[in-house]
């Protein structure tokens, strides 16, 4: 029996070798079959894999953007800020500005190696598209500037000095971390803690920042400022800082180098002040007119040194011999002077004392 070839119907599309050519035949992955009953196709549909890849990429980019925003908002991203965008007097500085050897060393280090440690700043305004100040933190003397300095005054001052001296662009910006303290009091605490850790403040500087912060209304009074700013300090230490508050109120406009005042000398000065010696101390400093910290300390030391006991007058011991007695602690000394002091007198005294 002869075999017949079964034909199901006309072929869909051109046959191989036809005039349309194989190149014009749509590929399956480019023109997927449409379900029955959906009507004519309006165009090629995007494959699922490509849609999924684009969605994953968009999600990754959004996550990266969110991470960068969180790092910036939480102060974990170092920014390069123009020097002129920062208000250095946003807070009353705890460290008294002074040109000293440490400042010269800091400038030399930044000149040679650049800034190693970022400063800390806080935003002072919130942008509303009009340039108006809408989020000013109380106590800012430069309300139109974007940022206020929290810590790093010496680094900021060193960069400003280097930029003014050299004009180099590398000194025109400062590396900074943006902090967002909830209150101005929190900003003061951050400033004090940073300086205590890095360099350490003198008792006078501690008392000064507490007094000025209370005067600006950051704290209800000086006692509250002491308790908040130096919460980790021991009670005896806070008591000593409290004593230096008296020096600040009495001599802040008189002392030229108060940050160099050591603790013991400062407490002695407080005792003299309580005894009514303010005018005497002020007059002594005015007379000395010290030009250096060492000269000021020497003037105060001479003023506060206990008076020397008058030297006792020699007593006549015998003709031609005087006697001087000296008692220092548990040591009693007798000094004989005069032409009558002879070897014979020495032997006589030995015999009597023996």
pLDDT digits (tens, 9 = 90+) for 29-58: 444 444 444 444 445 556 787 777 777 777
How much of the chain is helix, strand and coil, in % rounded to 5? 45, 10, 40
Q: When comparing pLDDT for 271 and 327, which is higher?
A: 271
pLDDT band at 239 (very low <50, low <70, confident <90, very high): very high
Mean pLDDT of 107-114: 92
**% of the chain surpassing 70 pLDDT:** 74
* Residue 20 pLDDT greater than 50, yes or no: no
Position 241 scores a pLDDT of 94
What is the secondary structure of 2-29 as a DSSP string? -------S--SSPPTTSSS-GGGSPPTT
Q: When comparing pLDDT for 136 and 333, which is higher?
A: 333
50-97 tens-digit pLDDT: 777 777 777 777 777 776 666 666 666 788 999 999 998 888 775 666
Tell if the pTM clears 0.75, that is, is over it. Answer: no
Averaged confidence pLDDT in the chain:
78
pLDDT band at 332 (very low <50, low <70, confident <90, very high): confident
User: How far is 200 from 193, CA to CA, in rounded Å?
Assistant: 9
275-300 tens-digit pLDDT: 999 999 999 999 999 999 999 999 99
User: How far is 280 from 272, CA to CA, in rounded Å?
Assistant: 9
pLDDT band at 100 (very low <50, low <70, confident <90, very high): low
Looking at mean pLDDT, say which of 6-10, 129-133, 150-154, 277-281 comes out highest: 277-281
* Residue 141 pLDDT greater than 80, yes or no: no
* Residue 152 pLDDT greater than 90, yes or no: no
Mean pLDDT of 256-273: 92
Contact partners, residue 224, CB within 8 Å, separation at least 6: 214
3-state secondary structure 109-171: HHHHHCCCCCEEEEECCCCCCCCCCCCCCCCCCCCCCCEEEEECHHHHHHHHHHHHHHCCHHH
pLDDT band at 203 (very low <50, low <70, confident <90, very high): very high
Position 21 scores a pLDDT of 44
What is the secondary structure of 197-234 as a DSSP string? HHT---HHHHHHHHHHHHHTTSSSSHHHHHHHHTTTS-
Position 37 scores a pLDDT of 43
């Amino acid at each position: 029996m002869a075999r017949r070839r079964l034909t199901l119907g006309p072929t869909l599309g051109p046959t191989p070798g036809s005039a349309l050519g194989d190149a014009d035949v749509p590929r399956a992955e480019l023109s997927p079959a449409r379900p029955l009953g959906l009507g004519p196709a309006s165009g090629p549909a995007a494959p699922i894999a490509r849609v999924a890849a684009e969605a994953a990429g968009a999600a990754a980019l959004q996550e990266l953007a969110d991470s960068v925003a969180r790092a910036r908002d939480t102060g974990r991203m170092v920014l390069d800020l123009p020097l002129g965008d920062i208000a250095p007097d946003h807070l009353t500085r705890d460290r008294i500005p002074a040109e000293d050897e440490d400042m010269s060393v800091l400038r030399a280090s930044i000149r040679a190696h650049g800034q190693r440690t970022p400063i800390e700043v806080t935003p002072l305004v919130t942008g509303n598209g009009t340039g108006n100040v809408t989020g000013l933190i109380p106590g800012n003397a430069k309300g139109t500037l974007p940022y206020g300095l929290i810590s790093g005054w010496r680094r900021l001052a060193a960069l400003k000095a280097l930029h003014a001296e050299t004009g180099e662009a590398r000194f025109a910006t400062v590396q900074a971390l943006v902090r967002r303290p909830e209150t101005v009091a929190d900003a003061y605490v951050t400033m004090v803690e940073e300086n205590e850790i890095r360099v350490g403040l003198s008792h006078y500087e501690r008392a000064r920042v507490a007094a000025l912060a209370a005067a600006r209304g950051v704290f209800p009074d000086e006692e509250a400022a002491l308790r908040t700013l130096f919460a980790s300090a021991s009670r005896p230490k806070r008591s000593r800082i409290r004593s230096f508050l008296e020096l600040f109120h009495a001599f802040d406009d008189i002392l030229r180098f108060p940050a160099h005042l050591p603790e013991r000398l400062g407490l002695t000065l407080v005792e003299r002040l309580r005894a009514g010696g303010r005018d005497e101390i002020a007059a002594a400093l005015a007379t000395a007119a010290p030009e250096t910290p060492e000269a000021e300390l020497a003037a105060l030391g001479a003023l506060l040194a206990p008076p020397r006991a008058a030297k006792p007058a020699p007593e006549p011991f015998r003709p031609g011999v005087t006697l001087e007695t000296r008692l220092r602690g548990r040591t009693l000394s007798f000094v004989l002077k005069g032409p009558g002091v002879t070897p014979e007198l020495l032997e006589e005294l030995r015999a009597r004392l023996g």
